[in-house]
Structure 1
Amino acid sequence: MVVHSKNEALICKAFPSSLGPVAVRWFDDLGADSIDSFKELTQAFGSRFITCSRAPRPLNSLLFLSMREGETLKTYSDRYWEMFIEIDGDFDDMAIRIFKVGLPTEHDLRKSLTRKPVTSVCQLMDQIDKYKRVNEDQLQGKGKGKVIP
């Protein structure tokens, strides 16, 4: 990107590839033509994520999260990751366990995570994404049955 540092349009288009799921959702929610320059984009990003003056949440904040009846995996995982990024400290192993316990016992993802536990938050996010894609495919009539990664 250093070679293209003068091309603001390209830099703005490449910017979301460096973001996590919550920041990508923020980026996707920006109104069309609401940002006029890369400088303005970085200022908006900083206002939302970097200069946030909220105090970090304690780990036990995650304990109160669970998948609600009728809630999609996408909605539950989005709520979970929003809370997770506000926690100060390195609690990945505990955060993985708490996410799993927050799923209903009959949920296929919970069963899969029990049979084959993940060892990092990145692996957990990958598993969640796989299950969301399978669920979306099944809802659209493309799924031919259950797929357990």
Structure 2
Amino acid sequence: MTLHGFSSKVVCKEFHLTLKGAARAWFEALLPGTIINFTKLACFFLTQVMASRKMRRPAAYLLMVKQRDDESLKSYISRFDRECITTYDQDEKITLAALLGGIWPCNPFMTEIAQRTPTLLREFMDHADGFINAEDMLLALTAPR
């Protein structure tokens, strides 16, 4: 929604339509009469909502993301991807190194990776997807009925 070109009064009244989640909850909790113009609303918004946003981390942070002993490869990669989103200076080589370095050493997938180490992130993901699919199929076939 674009509110450019409208008066301050209209922008103040319709601003809440652009908000989601915590920002919307904050706005709805404001007491009536708190906001007298858009400049004051903008100031409140920046100090209350923007200050509480998640800080982005350097890509080197990904080197600390490790697969847990009881975590499947699928869960680890999903968690790693969520952490990747929080980084600001992503580099494919660092991301791939962090991803490989974070896999639990006793994971059977490491045997496959040791035979042919991927040099591209896409290559790793394709290989991991094949392994995860095979692992999921084996679990489905051996699960009690």
- In which range does the TM-score fall when normalised by the shorter chain? 0.5 to 0.7
Aligned-pair CA distance for 1:108:
2.3
Choose between structure 1 and 2: higher helix proportion. Answer: 2
Aligned-pair CA distance for 1:67:
1.0
Distance in 1 separating the partners of 2:56 and 2:121: 19
Q: What SS does the aligned partner of 1:112 have?
A: helix
Distance in 1 separating the partners of 2:56 and 2:130: 30
* 2:99 paired residue number: 99
For residues 27-71 of structure 1, give each alpha carbon's deviation from its aligned partner in whole angstroms, at most 9, with x where no partner exists. Answer: xxxxxxxxxxxxxxxx98xxxxxxx96443112221221111211
**Number of aligned residue pairs:** 95
Q: What SS does the aligned partner of 1:141 have?
A: helix
CA contact (8 A) 1:105 1:111 kept: no
Distance in 2 separating the partners of 1:106 and 1:140: 22
Unaligned runs of 5+ in 1: 1-42, 45-51, 143-149
Q: CA RMSD in A?
A: 2.6
Distance in 2 separating the partners of 1:90 and 1:69: 26
Aligned counterparts, 1:50-61, within 5 A: 54-61=54-61
Distance in 1 separating the partners of 2:128 and 2:120: 13
Unaligned runs of 5+ in 2: 1-18, 21-49
Aligned counterparts, 1:82-97, within 5 A: 82-97=82-97
Larger radius of gyration: 2
* 1:124 paired residue number: 124
Aligned-pair CA distance for 1:115:
2.1
Distance in 2 separating the partners of 1:120 and 1:98: 13
What is the percentage of aligned positions where both structures have the same residue?
Answer: 18
CA contact (8 A) 2:59 2:90 kept: no
Distance in 2 separating the partners of 1:121 and 1:81: 12
* 2:133 paired residue number: 133
CA contact (8 A) 2:67 2:103 kept: yes
Q: What is the letter of the counterpart of residue 106 of structure 2?
A: E
* 2:35 paired residue number: none
Q: What is the letter of the counterpart of residue 56 of structure 2?
A: P
